[in-house]
Amino acid sequence: RLGICGGMLGGRGQLPRFEASIRSGRRGQPLNPPISRMALPAGGAGLTSRPMPSPAAAVEVKTTLSTSSSNCSSTSTYHDDIEAVLYSEALLHQRTSELGHQLARDFADKSPLVLGVLTGAFQFTGDLMRCMEPCPRGTTVNFVRASSYTSGTTSSGQVKVKVDIASSAVLGRHVILVEDIVDTGQTLTRLKAHLLEECGAATVAIVTLLDKRERRKVVLEADYVGFTCPNEFVVGYGLDFDEEYRTLPYIGILRPERYAHLNK
């Protein structure tokens, strides 16, 4: 099996190599490749795969659990709390590789500053950076903290921006702002304005792994998009619910019973 930036993945769950469709100009088109098999995680017993819907469908992959127990026992794992897998580990690797190579081309002569939005984008940011090959000279990476979420499943709308980086490090730089998911768009709108107006960035390009367009509350378009995400509560690959599930190697839909108490 090749590394994350190696393209084709060998072994079980092998995916055919495919090229990303690119929007006109610099934007990355969300990918919806037709595949029928998935690389399932170790420890995910009870997971059974089924063919992917057509590329036009909102959900790329669904893998259902054969068990439906809602009680969390001492021997259960985070896999047991997942109702369906939307994006397999192999599919995430493939799309991240394509986005990384595209960013390397688009920013080849711009010495970009890559800023990952904590905490959800830490996994995606690291993998994306490794796939920026050949990496533009002068590329640096840092992280910012900006969140509009409280202990729940919906956006609070109250955006607090904390930037743990000196304005001088941003001044005049071409910033690649990396996010795990764009939901209402309020967080990134505020953060982008902060980087441009208060820190003096030359440009700010938004890269998001998931784009949940159905929940947008402001006018905001990401420059590079991994996948258009259905309006489901998703976790894994850095995305969390109350700081849990970030370690899952795939992205899946969280069982409603795991957060039903919040609606009471």
Tell me the helices (H) and strands (E) count for the chain, helix number first.
4, 11
Give the start-end residues of each E strand in the chain. Answer: 47-49, 63-65, 82-87, 113-118, 140-149, 155-162, 174-182, 203-211, 224-228, 234-235, 251-254
The token duo for 106 is: 């688009």
CA 82 from chain center: how many Å?
A: 17
Catalytic (active site) residue 109: no
- Answer positive or negative: Cα dihedral of 200, 203, 209, 214: positive
Q: What would the two tokens of residue 1 be?
A: 């099996």
CA-CA distance, 97 to 86, in Å (whole number)? 18
- Pairwise CA distance, residues 39 & 1, whole Å: 12
Residue at token pair 């896999």: 79
Among 81, 127, 183, 211, the active-site one is 183
| Separation of alpha carbons 251 and 79, rounded Å | 11
Q: Is 255:241 a contact under the CB 8 Å cutoff?
A: no
| Residue 115, number of CB atoms within 10 A of its CB | 28
| Residues with active-site annotation | 183
